[in-house]
């Protein structure tokens, strides 16, 4: 039997934990001993409305299973809301070890038709929301030299999807935030990783078609709980997860075409080297922007 992964004496904050994926994370973290702040605004999929009932239900379910949790109803979409969510962890449990940025809304429209109000609303919850919640937690984690941060990205942003310019931009923005918090958190024992999930929830029940049956939210849970654990000793990675598939997504760069030190090629020369420039057969996966620059440095030195 392998060692069990447990969360004794650890405090987790899960945003948007009143339903869907977030609820499964909160339940499993609590089942394994974490004390959990269950944040949820309790609104609808498009972000309108709000109620305490969703977060309360998750807390009731955790308590019924013998776990410990506290509800928080603040919106991640404001800085005050994010601060209040982390303050709830500090007031109730004294610290924060884990943040799972999961809260989300949808306002899908084609790029030609999307209203700026829908762009702002989606960026506020997904991208700014992760800033609002993670920054105050990061301060605490930095002081205690330990932390686990999970961001929820999406294939819609990483690979692109029709009708989701606002959502895709927010989700890919989270990859950038993950990259930098991973780099900055490294010396403080703070690991940051991102997931791109696929699961049947109220958000996706009309979008997934026949695939819906095959993608249970509980299939995402073990990965997120692992990324949130002390056992997870890597950082700065993007994982895709859904329907029983667990895999890595990465951002790489190829060697490309080197025109020569000091060279300013013509437009035609660039055109004539497109095969080398666009080649994806061999590549590296840099762990920070300096590593990519080092590749240029090597070419310049050749």
DSSP H or E segment with residue 211 = none
- Given 15, 58, 221, 229, the residue binding ligand NAI (CB under 6 A): 15
Choice from 88, 166, 181, 201 touching ligand NAI (CB under 6 A): 201
Site string for ligand NAI, 145-164 (x = CB under 6 A): -------x-x----------
**DSSP per residue, 245-302:** EEEEE---EE------TT----HHHHHHTHHHHH--SSEE--SSHHHHHHHHHHHHH-
Q: How far is the CB of 44 from ligand NAI (least distance, A)?
A: 8
Q: Which residues lie closer than 8 Å to 129 by C-beta, 6 or more apart? A: 15, 75, 76, 77, 82, 101, 103
How far apart are the C-alpha atoms of 70 and 205, rounded to whole Å? 28
Site string for ligand NAI, 171-190 (x = CB under 6 A): --------------------
> 247 pairs with which residues across the strands?
240
73 is catalytic: no
- Which one of the listed residues 25, 73, 151, 167 is annotated catalytic? 167
Residue 178 host element (H or E): helix 165-185
Rounded Cα–Cα distance for residues 88 and 72 (Å): 7
DSSP letter at 44?
-
Binding mask 79-118 for ligand NAI (x = CB under 6 A): -----------------------xxxx-------------
Among 14, 198, 228, 241, binds ligand NAI (CB under 6 A): 198
- If the CB atoms of residues 54 and 149 are measured against ligand NAI, the closer one turns out to be 54
What is the binding site for ligand NAI (CB under 6 A)?
15-16, 18-22, 39-43, 45, 47, 54, 75-77, 102-105, 125, 152, 154, 197-199, 201-204
């Amino acid at each position: 039997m392998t060692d069990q992964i447990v969360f004794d004496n650890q405090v987790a904050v899960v945003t948007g934990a009143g339903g869907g994926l977030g609820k499964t994370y909160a339940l499993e973290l609590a089942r394994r001993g974490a004390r959990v702040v269950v944040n949820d605004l309790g609104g609808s999929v498009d972000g309108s409305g709000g109620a305490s009932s969703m977060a309360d239900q998750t807390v009731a379910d955790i308590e019924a299973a013998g776990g410990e949790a506290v509800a928080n109803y603040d919106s991640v979409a404001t800085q005050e809301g994010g601060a209040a969510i982390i303050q709830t962890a500090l007031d109730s449990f004294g610290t924060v070890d884990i943040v799972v940025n999961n809260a989300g809304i949808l306002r899908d429209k084609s790029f030609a038709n999307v209203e700026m109000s829908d762009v702002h609303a989606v960026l506020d919850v997904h991208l700014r929301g992760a800033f609002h919640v993670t920054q105050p937690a990061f301060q605490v984690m930095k002081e205690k030299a330990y932390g686990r941060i999970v961001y929820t990205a999406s294939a819609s942003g990483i690979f692109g999807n029709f009708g989701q310019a606002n959502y895709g931009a927010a989700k890919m923005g989270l990859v950038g935030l993950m990259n930098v918090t991973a780099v900055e958190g490294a010396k403080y024992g703070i690991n940051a990783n991102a997931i791109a999930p696929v699961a049947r929830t109220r958000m996706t029940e009309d979008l997934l078609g026949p695939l819906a049956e095959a993608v249970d939210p509980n299939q995402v849970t073990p990965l997120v709980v692992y990324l949130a654990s002390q056992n997870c000793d890597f950082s700065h990675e993007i994982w895709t997860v859904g329907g029983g598939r667990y895999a890595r997504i990465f951002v790489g760069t190829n060697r490309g075409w080197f025109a020569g030190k000091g060279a300013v090629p013509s437009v035609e020369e660039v055109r004539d080297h497109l095969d080398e420039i666009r080649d994806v057969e061999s590549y590296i996966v840099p762990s920070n922007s300096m590593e990519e620059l080092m590749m240029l440095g090597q070419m310049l030195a050749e």
